[in-house]
Amino acid sequence: MIALVLAFVSALAAVGGGLLALNEKRRLNLTLGFTAGALLGLVAFDLLPEIFEISEANALDVIWPMIALAVGFLLFHSVERYILIHHSHERDYLIHTHPHVGIASSLALVGHSFLDGLSIGLAFQINNAVGVAVAIAVIGHRFADGFNSVNLMLLHKNDRSRTLKFLALVGLAPIVGVLCSFLFTPPETTLAIYLGFFAGFILYIAASDILPQAHSKKSTRATVLLTILGTAFMFAVTRLA
């Protein structure tokens, strides 16, 4: 029960972050800069350390999660190019935006949100102290997940209605994850490989999609500063949580 309550709190945090991003869409270049930094920080300070820790604890050769990272990066690159080439004019391809890409990006965050909830549930299977510690860490970066999801949808020309639907999915996913944790316990080695795959998605989204768009719309010193602040924000969240 405690796990579900904390998952609900994490859902509220994600929705709050998404609504903030939605209300600031007139300054999209600034929020995109912060989003890119936050996603980079998520990979560098959260996902990769978790991968290395799980691999070491389970005697898993870290090359397998790293292969999964490369596959995730290249798969999203290939999917994005396929969608853009077959559904966009050449001009649209050059500006690197399409609604389907925003949906694919947000679905990646939905998957990560589900794993957040699963992590909370599995942690509570160990004991309440571990469960609460994991939940605090999850809640700390859920605000950024909602914020990032909305910005990804807006970046790729999705309308407000569709954006809100995907924000709701990002919000609800950890609750579903907690519920699923009551049904099974996946091997940690599988989790490490998934995290590598997800890190590849995120790196591509941040470096190839969001940053170029942030600077193509209106490149300013503030955009660069917010990118740095976004990375620092995720560093602080992961260290403090």
Provide the 10 A C-beta neighbour count for residue 14. Answer: 32
The whole model's pTM is what?
A: 0.66
Residue with tokens 């020309």: 157
pLDDT (mean) for 207-221 = 72
pLDDT (mean) for 202-218 = 75
> Above 50 in pLDDT, residue 185?
yes
Q: Which of 224, 202, 226 is nearest to 24 (CA)?
A: 226
Q: Which of 80, 77, 36 is nearest to 214 (CA)?
A: 36
User: What does the pLDDT look like over 107-131, one tens digit per residue?
Assistant: 777 887 888 888 788 878 867 876 7
Q: Which of 214, 160, 211 is nearest to 18 (CA)?
A: 160
Helix (H/G/I), strand (E/B), else coil: 127: coil
What is the DSSP secondary structure assignment for residue 10, as one 8-state letter? H
Residues 6+ apart with CB under 8 A from 49: 238
Highest mean pLDDT among 23-27, 87-91, 174-178, 192-196: 174-178
Distance CA 218, CA 29 (A): 6
Q: Is the model more confident about 16 or about 79?
A: 16
pLDDT confidence of residue 93: 42
Q: Which of 44, 54, 108, 46 is nearest to 76 (CA)?
A: 108
Distance CA 191, CA 166 (A): 24
